Structure 1
């Protein structure tokens, strides 16, 4: 449920022209198409509890969905209306106030490093599982996607390990592969502090216990799933680790490119 205040709702309803049951210039079809872009099925029965008009479904959406999702949709509606010139003579102060409402809601992101959970290889299944993981967080349902987060982590670690010469096989556990990756980073001098190495090593045991969560506390099997708070903690830990590793790999690749450029420069006769 979003935490829109009464004042927020009045401003949004005025800006979006919801007084007569409409929302901007949308038809039922284009209204549904717009929400599809944000992975919200606005035509679903759950959004018709307060009435079937577009305005009533919008109000029910505000009541049911999480801040971040509502903020994304409001921001998108404002941009759409600006592009379509729907606002007419609307007060610029009102438009700005509604943009600020969207920004405030967007700041309430349950997983701070969500953008890190994106595919890093051109593989269809990698992209699909990454999309499912982000969608679960945008809907504030981390407990329902722990199995997919585990799959994502497995694919991510496999991809990042290959350039470092870490052998990968079906029989090797995820935490063992990651342990070899951390050792490769240390041996190559890519880690600048002992504390960073220690933090990464702690992730080895985290990944080992993640296997248990995936097998016994997720939707991978017919299990009672883990509670919301602990699921969110797992998501945040994994996402933060992946964000750091992505940034580190960018630095490593930049060093490799610089070395190659230097070698090529040295070969140029003068």
Structure 2
């Protein structure tokens, strides 16, 4: 993880109210429970107490020791936790997410991290929430991960449709939603604005993306957790769940970036 400047560490301290060893409104017990429940992390481990046992010092040690992607996810969750009981401060948010962009630079799940960052900046809370759920479920509950991956993409499509003032399609599954955003975003076969020499190639890529999106929806129907599980069912391969997460995230990121290009002055908010 990139080394943080002293000023950046102080910013984190201030945002998460870490003066005098505190961390937001957590007690030692509730902090330990929160890290265990949300991240399956034992924050009471000795390695996190190398600089002291206070809540603030344990979080600082965690930030120093762990992978940038994991640190980014924890700080995002703590920010959401704070905003649940205190009004969101736009200046604090801007400063925090600037630091998060640095923390997450070069981490392995780059597509997922980029999507999560853009979702927060665009105020698309549903995207971040669904993505977090998918990431957390990938190994311990692959069926849930597939459902969450599909929900991630649905959130983006639904928000685009509503922000443009269109009615949601009668069939509100992922295929119907994705088909509804292609034309207004200029992604339909006859509306692609690219160099004619590569137009056919781009159409093939977009056609493949549409097929992938449809496949994610079908996988959710047959292998996700949204439709219940019969006794004796065969668990979904975690590799396939991860593929669905990465595919849905890539598609959602592409839609967000296309929105930014086509409507640069219009903020995309969640619906």
Q: TM-score, normalised by structure 2?
A: 0.51
Partner of 1:137: 135
Matched, 1:226 2:198: no
Q: Report the Cα offset of residue 252 of structure 1.
A: 1.0
Q: Say which structure, 1 or 2, has more relative contact order (CA 8 Å, 6+ apart).
A: 2
Shift of the alpha carbon at 1:149? 2.2
Please, which of 159, 178, 193 is the counterpart of residue 191 of structure 1? Answer: 193
Q: Which runs of 5 or more residues in structure 2 are unaligned?
A: 1-19, 77-101, 267-271
SS of 2:128's partner is: helix
CA contact (8 A) 2:35 2:43 kept: no
Matched, 1:169 2:169: yes
Across the aligned residues of Structure 1 and Structure 2, the Cα RMSD in angstroms comes to 5.2
**Structure with greater Cα Rg:** 1
Show CA shifts across 1:18-63 (max 9, x none): xxxxxxx757955567678xx6238999739978x9569x7xx98x
8 A Cα contact 1:129 1:148, kept in partner: no
8 Å contact kept, 1:150–1:210: yes
SS at match of 2:236: coil
Unaligned residue ranges in structure 1 (runs of 5+): 1-24, 77-101, 257-270
Distance between the aligned counterparts of 1:253 and 1:74, measured in 2? 32
Deviation at 1:174, TM superposition (A): 2.5
Q: State whether residues 35 and 41 of structure 1, in contact with CA within 8 Å, keep that contact through their aligned partners in structure 2.
A: yes
In structure 2, the CA distance between the partners of 1:212 and 1:119, relative to structure 1 (3 Å rule), is farther
TM-score normalised per structure 1: 0.51
Q: Could you say what secondary structure the match of 2:248 adopts? A: helix
What's the counterpart of residue 216 of structure 1?
222
